Amino acid sequence: MLTTLAVANYRSLRDLVIPLGRLTLVTGANGSGKTSLYRALRLLAETAQGRLIATLAQEGGFTSTLWAGPETISRTMRQGRVPIQGGPRSKPISLALGFAGDAYGYAIDLGMPSPENPFPLDPVIKGEAMWTGERLSRSSLFAERRNALVRLRMSDSGVWREAMDALSPFDSMVTHCADPADGFELLSMRERMRDWRFYDALRTDPDAPARRPGIHTYTPVLASDGADLAAALATIRAIGDARTLDETIEAAFPGSRLLDDPAGLRLRQHGLLRPLGPTELSDGTLRFLLLVAALLSPRPPELMVLNEPEASLHPSLMPPLAHLLKTAARQTQIVLVSHSAALIAALRETGCCEEVRLEKSFGETAAPDCESPAWTWPKR
Ligand SMILES: Nc1ncnc2c1ncn2[C@@H]1O[C@H](COP(=O)(O)OP(=O)(O)OP(=O)(O)O)[C@@H](O)[C@H]1O
Ligand SMILES: [Mg+2]
């Protein structure tokens, strides 16, 4: 399980270190930094897929995603005695992301390319570190990258070995030095990160992928766009927790039942003579079914991250959704971003979530109610 997420100089997250629990609810007003936190986790997952730099480029490039405020906000600036201003930098430009858990931790540090770099808009990877346990230290470190040089510590002898001396500044050691023989820990971490799942803006409009006809094939993981909803629900019924599936649908839509129809998704609803298919379901009903399919996956990932899942759901659906989240959190760690008062209240009622409330102060996201876990960034 991940216990800490750390972000530096990414959008409004200038210096944020937050604790993560089994089920973490991230809340906050509009513009407080919730989606930035979701994206920071997503960028870490993209690192394991070799797509970090490309994803940053899609977000507008390094200079757009880099913290746009001053390097530090002094006390006199906060008191309004001097204007917010930049001044000479004391440290190099760095956008850094990292996490730690009970098994291992990882951090990556991105910086400005040198003037001769042919891709001046892309950041370069300046450093990476992987360690065992919750805190980076000289004794817990076992894989380290500084610019193009990667060193690994042998788990049996404890001796450091140079694994690569010319790693491209756009490639991560997580994808390029994960070797089954001597980079086994990197490989195992990479595979676990590749399994993290993200659900954001699951579409329910008339052209939504989830409304297209779909046949029942073995689908233990719902696609991130929900295109294989029918198959994912049928797979839960066949090899997963069919009872919770039926109970959740009954709690959300009393008298309704999902039918086992190989032709696709069919929902029998109270009072109707025939079941309805995916093109006929309401936006809220379809979204709820998408969340059920994601959360009851028969192959639960280590981590699932949901961004504002409650959009278009009526407040009456929040208690069944909260119950479903609580059930899913027994198998998978969940980070949930939401500003729905109804969902927050329903989750508090379950008593199983830890809350991280974000707030913006001087353009910077802070989590004033939680104690920041201890965190050390790798050295450049
Ligand atoms: N490079 C940057 N530097 C500093 N702040 C930035 C940067 N890019 C975006 N921001 C600001 O970061 C803030 C957080 O945005 P984010 O999308 O995470 O908010 P949110 O909490 O998800 O809000 P909403 O509830 O409206 O979706 C916004 O106010 C945005 O203006
Ligand atoms: Mg948002």
Query: Within the chain, how many helices (H) and strands (E) appear?
Result: 11, 16
- Ligand 1 pocket check: which of 10, 12, 340 to mutate, most ligand atoms within 8 Å of Cβ? 12
Taking the CA of residue 308 as reference, the ligand 1 atom at the shortest distance is: 27
Q: Is the CB of 36 under 6 A from ligand 1?
A: yes
Q: Is the CB of 9 under 6 A from ligand 1?
A: no
Looking at residue 330, its amino acid is R
- Centroid of chain to Cα 95: 17
How far is the C-alpha of 320 from the C-alpha of 313, rounded, in Å? 11
Q: Is the CB of 32 under 6 A from ligand 1?
A: yes
- Centroid of chain to Cα 337: 10
Q: Which of 141, 140, 145 is nearest to 125 (CA)?
A: 145
Q: Is the CB of 338 under 6 A from ligand 1?
A: no
Domains identified in the chain and CATH numbers: 2-29+52-196+359-366 (no CATH), 198-354 (3.40.50)
How far is the C-alpha of 328 from the C-alpha of 57, rounded, in Å? 33
3-state DSSP of 182-238: CCHHHHHHHHHHHCCEEEECCCCCCCCHHHCCCCCCCCCCCCCCCCCHHHHHHHHHH
- Ligand 1 pocket check: which of 10, 34, 310, 344 to mutate, most ligand atoms within 8 Å of Cβ? 34
Cβ-in-10-Å burial (0-12, 13-18, 19+) of 62 comes to buried
Q: Given this model, what pLDDT does residue 158 score?
A: 87
Q: Given this model, what pLDDT does residue 250 score?
A: 96
| Residue having the nearest C-alpha atom to atom 19 of ligand 1 | 31
How far is the C-alpha of 131 from the C-alpha of 108, rounded, in Å? 12
DSSP secondary structure letters along 61-81: -HHHHB--S-S---HHHHTTS
Q: What is the pLDDT along the chain (380 residues), one digit of tens a residue?
A: 999 999 999 999 999 999 999 999 999 999 999 999 999 999 999 999 999 999 999 999 999 999 999 888 888 888 888 888 887 788 899 999 999 999 999 999 999 998 888 888 899 999 999 999 889 999 999 999 999 999 999 888 889 999 999 999 999 999 999 888 878 889 999 999 999 999 998 999 999 999 998 778 999 999 999 999 999 999 999 999 999 999 999 999 999 999 988 888 999 998 899 999 999 999 999 999 999 999 999 999 999 999 999 988 999 999 999 999 999 999 999 999 999 999 999 999 999 999 999 999 999 999 999 999 999 999 98
Which residues are near ligand 2, the ion (C-beta closer than 5 Å)? Answer: 35
Q: Is the CB of 340 under 6 A from ligand 1?
A: no
What is the whole-number distance in angstroms between the Cα of residue 200 and the centre of ligand 1?
A: 16
Q: Given this model, what pLDDT does residue 78 score?
A: 86
What is the whole-number distance in angstroms between the Cα of residue 111 and the centre of ligand 1?
A: 21
Q: Given this model, what pLDDT does residue 362 score?
A: 92
**Residues composing the chain:** 380
Taking the CA of residue 64 as reference, the ligand 1 atom at the shortest distance is: 1
- Decide if 308 contacts 337 (C-beta within 8 A): yes
- Ligand closest to CA 39: 1
What is the whole-number distance in angstroms between the Cα of residue 269 and the centre of ligand 2?
A: 33
How far is the C-alpha of 335 from the C-alpha of 25, rounded, in Å? 6
